Amino acid sequence: MSRRLTATISLLVSVAACGRSPSSGATPVQAGVLITNATVIDGTGSPGRRASVRVEGDRIVAVGDLQPASTDRVIDATGLVLAPGFIDTHTHADDGLDTHPEALAVVSQGITTIIGGQDGGSPLPLSTYFAALEKQPAAVNVGMYVGHGSVRDSAYYSIVRAEWPEVRQRLEAALT
Ligand SMILES: [Zn+2]
């Protein structure tokens, strides 16, 4: 991995859009992080542009030509790219979030949302899976398709298992 790409990934921020307008004089300034001189790719399809980004808590509150507040932690991103988190639309990282909720394998790549269940397998019922995630949140957003194979298996396994000796005989006969 190139040095530039590594540096780019380390600056990815998990926010799709500005949630609030920039701080006005009427609002007390919160301690925040000001990322300066980044090449900002905002996900709209517009070309990257040089800008600073102010973060308060878990929100981007301003993008533009910004000056640091006295309480800001300033990160100079000269020569680096700042972009919203990526969405992995076909992942297997959903398996294991219970034991590794920090999800380093994905967040270290700048992925902030994962979608599972693409191959037809998913936890069932999904309500139980998501209830567990609510109880122990992961470091990434998680979406899940209902696994068509899992649903079918849950209905058919007991029937197929009962008929397995005959199925096996037929399979062996087909091989001889
Ligand atoms: Zn897959």
**Per-residue model confidence as pLDDT tens digits over 89-123:** 999 998 899 999 999 999 999 999 999 999 999 99
Which residues are CB-contacts of 121 (< 8 A; sequence separation ≥ 6)?
Answer: 147, 149, 150
Encode pLDDT of 111-155 as tens digits.
Answer: 999 999 999 999 999 999 999 999 999 999 999 999 999 998 888
How close is the Cα of 160 to the center of ligand 1, in Å?
25
Read off the pLDDT band of 74 (50, 70, 90).
Answer: very high
How close is the Cα of 43 to the center of ligand 1, in Å?
26
What's the rounded Cα separation, in Å, for the pair 148 and 131? Answer: 21
Decide if domain 3-82 falls under CATH 2.30.40.10: yes
Domain range annotation of the chain? 3-82, 86-169
User: In this structure, are residues 148 and 120 in contact, taking their beta carbons and an 8 Å threshold?
Assistant: yes
Percent of the chain with pLDDT over 90: 59
How close is the Cα of 89 to the center of ligand 1, in Å?
10
How close is the Cα of 116 to the center of ligand 1, in Å?
8
How close is the Cα of 143 to the center of ligand 1, in Å?
14
User: In this structure, are residues 34 and 53 in contact, taking their beta carbons and an 8 Å threshold?
Assistant: yes
Our CA angle for 124, 129, 131, nearest 5°, is 135
How close is the Cα of 90 to the center of ligand 1, in Å?
6
How close is the Cα of 1 to the center of ligand 1, in Å?
24
How close is the Cα of 123 to the center of ligand 1, in Å?
14
How close is the Cα of 151 to the center of ligand 1, in Å?
17
Closest CA relative to residue 142, chosen from 132, 155, 152, 151: 132
Closest CA relative to residue 107, chosen from 7, 8, 14, 1: 14
